[in-house]
Amino acid sequence: MSFESLNLIPELLRAVAEQGYKEPTPIQAQAIPAILRRRDIMGCAQTGTGKTAGFTLPLLQLLAPQANTSLSPARHPIRALILTPTRELAAQVEESVRIYGKFLSLRTTVVYGGIDITPQMKALHGGVEILVATPGRLLDHLHQRSVNLSRVEILVLDEADRMLDMGFLPDIKRILAVLPAQRQNLLFSATFSDEIRRLASQLLRQPTMIEVARRNATADLVTHQVYEVPATRKRALLGYLIRTRNIPQALVFVRMKRDANRLARELVRDGISATAIHSDRTQAEREQALSDFKQGRAPVLVATDIAARGLDIVELPYVINYELPYTPEDYLHRIGRTARAGLPGEAISLMSPDENRLLAEIEKLLKRTLPRVTAPEFDRGGGKPRPTYERDRHERSERHEKREKRSAPKLVEPRNSGAREIDFSKPYEPSPSTATKPEITHPLRRQPSRPAAALLGGASTHAKSHK
């Protein structure tokens, strides 16, 4: 099937061709015709399936007749509202709208919390046809009367399950209350919980159901490996894997925000450049972390499920589950970050004995047993300091020395690596000299064998006019 056969207008076909897309993904093939017929949609699809283009392309096509270059804000009412759970996803979706709408005179902007509201108010004041927003910040704008939603024709709830998980239902209801009753509704969710079904039944009129295979659950492209390791040895094993496998770039998952910060700090101490992303960090810090990861300054990004959800990380080779998630669906979301665009990816899980039950649930969902890998050096535990780590470090510095001798330019020894001071038998105590944001170059990191992952998205808050 081709994009042409979906009856997309030439402006969109051109934008799609510029992106190098050869044919629609399954969700696009199903969603585009249905949305163009002005049907409501209930889409069960994860990020990574091409769902953003699946709703953005037809949305742009439906609005195209109203595209205009008038300078009058009155000629640019908000006609489409896209709600997303996180700022990162909002920024990425807005970027997609901008990319696919490049040859149309439709304006778009994005509003989300954590940053100054004033530039967003200005952008809205100038008039935009497509608004991408997180629910909380959109409510702020409604309270400030800086946004008028009375002309919305299309509503998209992207990653609706995550919005409910994050407690956005009351906010969503408040927003729905100010929208015109007559509108097209598109709801996308990775899971179909009872809560989602309830929301769908209130929101959607005779929806077209679209379900695409969980791309990464079924894809052979992801190699799963489970290391059985005591919790106290996970960090040493993680460092060992990163070094010995020459992992160029990895997204490492933990469950709690505080653990994301802590692990990133500890890895930096161990000489591995790492940074963290989670919802307690400021927008500037999150953007810095993504940029460090994207640019390869921090090849390890430690993330919580919520913060990483929806991130479009192109060609990310490794996802590492430092801790297994409490809900098996989150395992799918996590591994959905790798093996994208037809490239292989690896999902490595470090499982401590208390996580056996969580793995069983994941395997039940995947309908398969995941291969266990043994790492005998790491299966001794009990919270004791690990003498072999010293050996690792010794080997590392030996290899470092050899490398230094034979290669120029000279490699940089991490500042504040602090490995010598670490006492594994004690809880971690932050050192004032250890910055969360890494400024060091990992001396052992080889040149990535694959291109570094590129994170799409930015944090534009300005209205963009596409001509």
- Which of 330, 388, 79, 34 has its CA nearest to residue 193? 330
Instruction: Rule CB under 6 A: say whether 21 interacts with ligand AMP.
Output: yes
Q: Quick one: 335 or 359, whose CB is closer to ligand AMP?
A: 335
Q: How far apart are CB 21 and ligand AMP at their closest, in Å?
A: 4
Query: Residue 312 or 323: which CB sits closer to ligand AMP?
Result: 312
- Closer CB to ligand AMP, residue 337 or residue 442? 337
Tell me how far, at minimum, the Cβ of 122 lies from ligand AMP, in Å.
29
Q: Quick one: which H or E segment has residue 185?
A: strand 184-189
Query: Applying CB under 6 A, does 231 fall inside the site for ligand AMP?
Result: no
List the structure tokens of 360.
Answer: 């069983």
Residue among 214, 157, 33 at smallest CA distance from 24: 33
The nearer residue to ligand AMP, 99 or 411, going by C-beta atoms, is: 99
Q: Which is nearer to ligand AMP, 47 or 417 (CB)?
A: 47
Q: 30, 52, 261, 417: which one contacts ligand AMP (CB under 6 A)?
A: 52
Q: Is 173 helix (H, G, I), strand (E, B) or coil?
A: helix
CA atoms of 27 and 43, how far apart (whole Å): 8
Residue from the set 161, 312, 323, 330 that interacts with ligand AMP by CB under 6 A:
312
Kindly state whether residue 101 participates in binding ligand AMP, applying the rule CB under 6 A.
no
Cβ-contact 182, 38 below 8 angstroms: no
Residue from 15, 31, 32, 49 touching ligand AMP (CB under 6 A): that is 49
Which residue of 24, 127, 248, 271 would you call a contact of ligand AMP, by CB under 6 A? Answer: 24
CB of 302 to ligand AMP, least distance (A): 22
Binding ligand AMP (rule: CB under 6 A), the pick from 48, 58, 127, 325 is 48
Strand 80-83, strand 130-133: pairing: parallel
Q: Is 53 in the site for ligand AMP (CB under 6 A)?
A: yes
Separation between Cα atoms, residue 250 and residue 253, nearest integer Å: 10
47 lies in the binding site for ligand AMP (CB under 6 A): yes
- The number of CA neighbours under 13 Å toward the Cβ of 291 is 10
Minimum CB–partner distance for residue 336 and ligand AMP (Å): 9
Cβ closer to ligand AMP: 284 or 341? 341
CB of 135 to ligand AMP, least distance (A): 20
- Only one of the segments 48-56, 231-239, 374-382, 445-453 lies at the binding site for ligand AMP (rule: CB under 6 A); that segment is 48-56
Bridge partners of 274, per DSSP, are 300
Task: Count interface residues toward ligand AMP (CB under 6 A).
Answer: 15
1 lies in the site for ligand AMP, by CB under 6 A: no
Query: Which stretches of 326-451 are assigned E, i.e. beta strand?
Result: 345-351, 372-373
CB-based contact 117:150 (threshold 8 Å): no
Q: Which of residues 324-353 bind ligand AMP (CB under 6 A)?
A: 340-341
How crowded is the C-beta side of 338, counted as CA atoms within 13 Å? 25
Question: Among residues 120 and 216, whose Cβ is nearest to ligand AMP?
Answer: 216
CB-CB neighbours of 188 under 10 Å: 26
- Picking from 87, 129, 82, the residue whose alpha carbon sits closest to that of residue 460 is 87
Question: Is 21 or 428 the residue whose CB approaches ligand AMP more closely?
Answer: 21
> Please, what is the minimum distance in Å from the beta carbon of residue 306 to ligand AMP?
17
Signed CA dihedral, 39, 192, 366, 238: sign only: positive
Phi and psi at residue 258, to the nearest 5°:
-65, -30
**Is the CB of 80 or the CB of 226 nearer to ligand AMP?**
80
Q: How many residues does the chain have?
A: 467
**CB-based contact 233:352 (threshold 8 Å):** no
Nearest to 319 by CA among 303, 335, 332, 342: 335
Binding window for ligand AMP (CB under 6 A); candidates: 43-51, 204-212, 380-388, 435-443: 43-51
Q: Is 13 in the site for ligand AMP (CB under 6 A)?
A: no
Please say which residue, 84 or 321, places its beta carbon nearer to ligand AMP. Answer: 84
Angle of CA points 121, 127, 129, to nearest 5°: 115
Binding site for ligand AMP (CB under 6 A): 21, 24-25, 28, 47-53, 312, 314, 340-341
